[in-house]
Amino acid sequence: MSINKKMQVLINYGQSLPYAKVYHREDWDVYYFDIFGKMFGLLSPLASQDTTLSLKNTPEQNEEWRELYPDDIIPGFHLNKKHWNTIAIANETITEELLCQLIKISYSLVCQNLKKEQKQLIAKVTEDE
């Protein structure tokens, strides 16, 4: 799959999550994955061999992912290195399915810190599915 198509899969998946938005944030020149104003991901704006996706995870899981994929997953670039990973998406060793799983984990972790009312809105949407 081309990097451009892979990027579109990731953007579409991010937008499919309840109340999530993915948009080009011009001041940072990235695709910004947003849930109620909170960031859960950053994606490089241009398709190239250097395209990356940054996502949140638990510190323990981040260490495991970095050990499993040392050439493709590094501590978050310009982010808290303990809580964020930056993932090179051009390599086929990290599939779209795995990236979508990691997006979902990042989204879920950020949702844990939302206001009670926001969590209830998300819960209502997921109940109705």
How large is the average pLDDT for residues 14-26?
97
Classify residue 76 by its DSSP letter: P
Rounded to whole angstroms, the Cα distance separating 13 from 31 reads 13
Element (H, E) at 5: helix 3-16
Mean pLDDT, range 57-80, rounded to an integer: 96
pTM: 0.95
Instruction: State the Cα–Cα distance between residues 82 and 126, nearest whole angstrom.
Output: 30
Q: What is the mean pLDDT of residues 111-126?
A: 94
Give the residue, 47 or 129, on which the prediction is more confident: 47
Query: Does residue 104 come out as left (phi exceeding 0), alpha (psi in the -120 to 50 range) or beta?
Result: alpha
Residue with tokens 């978050």: 76
CA 62 to chain centre: 13
86 pLDDT above the threshold of 80: yes
Q: Does the pLDDT value for residue 1 go beyond 90?
A: no
Confidence of residue 129 (pLDDT cuts 50, 70, 90): low
